[in-house]
């Protein structure tokens, strides 16, 4: 593994930054206030080809790896777009990987090009109110009736459902009591988000307001058989294929936000004069910011290692989880320190750093908590007994 970006990777970072240039921090502050989805930003990223960076070239994408996708998302976050920018098309990178890997040729040719071109938006329907991270206990049922499935159930924390045309939906097709394992009997579908059968309710939340989060109530959604991904009952196995890339991307995005915060803090510390000297001259300001830089760089190395392992077909569960954990912690600490460096002005929206803190918080919570990652490492890496 080289510690230097390749010329192609460096070009990606520069080009992504250029694509984001028309959408400055005031743009994101406005959308943070209004809650409006950044449609023009989404369209610009689609036009530049970024939505399909990890989609195979045969279906209109660039066919690049998770490493390049992570660098792209990190670059978006670093511009100050934070999670609102990344979340607008986050699902394009990790969420559709099960379709890319396990979908039929007909499904891939039917579904992937419109997503790459920005013609359709998708959402990822897995989490439920009463199961949380215990995915095998999902209650949403899909009952086959001839050439279709009829679905009833409930989902929560579903991003972009207010604007989505399609949904990648995980539902139980075999009652859990009839399965040999709790992970069996779940099936994966990629189908129309039919709003006559799905009630989408917005959740008002702390950060990333420009990208909606929702609760879904599904009552009689009919899904054609041709919209099932892979075999019936193997959906849990399929979505696992997207989980490690998702952790890598979340870590990369959090690091990007942390770098944006650190950049703001250092600039302010150089400019702010108190007691006839810049506050950045004080070691009480310098040292915490220096520690933030080191923490962010260390997290970035783990993130890039996890991405490299995934792209080379290696086992990367521990590294991907560690990348998400370390990136989220480093990003959060940098954002917190940026506010403290700004003092009272850090509390003011016009300086943006308070928005950074609200945006980065989600990386510490989703898609898996810090505590679950620590338990995973303790069990899978250190060989300690399972604690739950």
Domain ranges of the chain: 7-116, 122-233, 237-380
Residue identified by tokens 């300086």 is 351
Q: Does 93 score more than 90 pLDDT?
A: no
Residues, the chain: 388
Share of the chain above pLDDT 70, in %: 100
Residue identified by tokens 């949380």 is 132
**Alpha carbon distance 363, 321 (integer Å):** 12
Q: What pLDDT is recorded for position 68?
A: 97
**Alpha carbon distance 169, 238 (integer Å):** 12
pLDDT band at 199; cut points 50, 70, 90: very high
- CATH fold of 237-380 reads Butyryl-CoA Dehydrogenase, subunit A; domain 3 (1.20.140)
- CATH fold of 122-233 reads Butyryl-CoA Dehydrogenase, subunit A; domain 2 (2.40.110)
User: Three-state SS for 200?
Assistant: strand
**DSSP one-letter code for 152:** E
- DSSP notation for 54-84: TS-GGGTS----HHHHHHHHHHHIIIIIHHH
Averaged pLDDT, 200-219: 97
CA atoms within a 13 Å half-sphere pointing along the CA-CB vector of 15: 17
The per-residue pLDDT of the chain, averaged, comes to 95
CA atoms within a 13 Å half-sphere pointing along the CA-CB vector of 236: 17
CB 53 within 8 A of CB 61: yes
**Alpha carbon distance 292, 288 (integer Å):** 6
**Alpha carbon distance 90, 82 (integer Å):** 12
Q: Per residue in 346-378, pLDDT tens?
A: 999 999 999 999 999 999 999 999 999 999 999
**Alpha carbon distance 28, 25 (integer Å):** 5
Q: What pLDDT is recorded for position 96?
A: 87
- CATH fold of 7-116 reads Butyryl-Coa Dehydrogenase, subunit A; domain 1 (1.10.540)
With vertex at residue 80, the alpha carbon angle to CA 323 and CA 167, rounded to the nearest 5 degrees, is 65
Q: Which two tokens stand for residue 126?
A: 């897995």
**Structure pTM?**
0.95
Residue identified by tokens 């939505």 is 51
CB 85 within 8 A of CB 38: yes
Q: Which two tokens stand for residue 97?
A: 């990987």
Averaged pLDDT, 69-86: 98
Cα torsion through 378, 382, 383, 387, rounded to 10: -10
**Alpha carbon distance 31, 26 (integer Å):** 9
**Alpha carbon distance 286, 270 (integer Å):** 10
Q: What pLDDT is recorded for position 34?
A: 97
**Alpha carbon distance 78, 296 (integer Å):** 12
Averaged pLDDT, 238-251: 92
Q: What pLDDT is recorded for position 155?
A: 97
Q: What pLDDT is recorded for position 1?
A: 64
């Amino acid at each position: 593994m080289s510690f230097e970006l390749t010329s192609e990777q460096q070009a990606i970072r520069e080009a992504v930054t250029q694509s984001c240039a028309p959408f400055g921090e005031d743009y994101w502050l406005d959308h943070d206030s209004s809650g409006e989805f950044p449609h023009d930003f989404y369209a610009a990223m689609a036009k530049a080809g970024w939505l399909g960076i990890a989609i195979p070239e045969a279906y209109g994408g660039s066919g690049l790896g998770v490493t390049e996708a992570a660098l792209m998302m990190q670059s978006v976050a670093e511009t100050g777009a934070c999670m609102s920018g990344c979340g607008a098309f986050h699902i394009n990178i990790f969420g559709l990987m099960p379709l890319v890997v396990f979908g039929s040729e007909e499904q891939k040719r039917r579904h992937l090009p419109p997503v790459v071109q920005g013609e359709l938006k998708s959402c990822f329907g897995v989490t439920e109110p009463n199961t949380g991270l215990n995915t095998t206990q999902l209650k949403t049922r899909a009952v086959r009736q001839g050439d279709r499935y009829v679905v009833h159930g409930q989902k929560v924390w579903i991003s972009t459902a207010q604007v989505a045309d399609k949904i990648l939906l995980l539902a139980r097709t075999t009652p859990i009591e009839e399965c040999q394992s709790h992970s069996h009997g779940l099936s994966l579908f990629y189908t129309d988000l039919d709003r006559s059968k799905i009630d989408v309710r917005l959740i008002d939340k702390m950060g990333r307001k420009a990208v909606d989060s929702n609760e879904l109530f599904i009552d009689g959604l009919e899904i054609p058989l041709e919209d099932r991904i892979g075999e019936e009952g193997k959906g849990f196995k399929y979505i696992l294929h997207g989980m490690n890339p998702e952790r890598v991307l979340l870590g990369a995005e959090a690091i990007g936000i942390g770098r944006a915060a650190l950049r703001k803090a250092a600039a302010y510390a150089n400019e702010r004069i108190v007691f006839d000297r810049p506050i950045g001259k004080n070691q009480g300001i310098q040292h915490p910011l220096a520690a933030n830089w080191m923490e962010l760089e260390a997290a970035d190395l783990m993130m890039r290692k996890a991405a490299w392992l995934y792209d080379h077909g290696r086992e990367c569960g521990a590294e991907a989880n560690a990348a998400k954990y370390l990136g989220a912690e480093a990003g959060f600490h940098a954002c917190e320190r940026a506010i403290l460096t700004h003092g009272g002005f850090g509390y003011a929206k016009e300086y943006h750093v308070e928005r950074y803190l609200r945006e980065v918080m989600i990386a510490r919570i989703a898609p898996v908590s810090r505590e679950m990652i620590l338990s995973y490492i303790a069990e899978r890496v250190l060989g300690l007994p399972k604690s739950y």
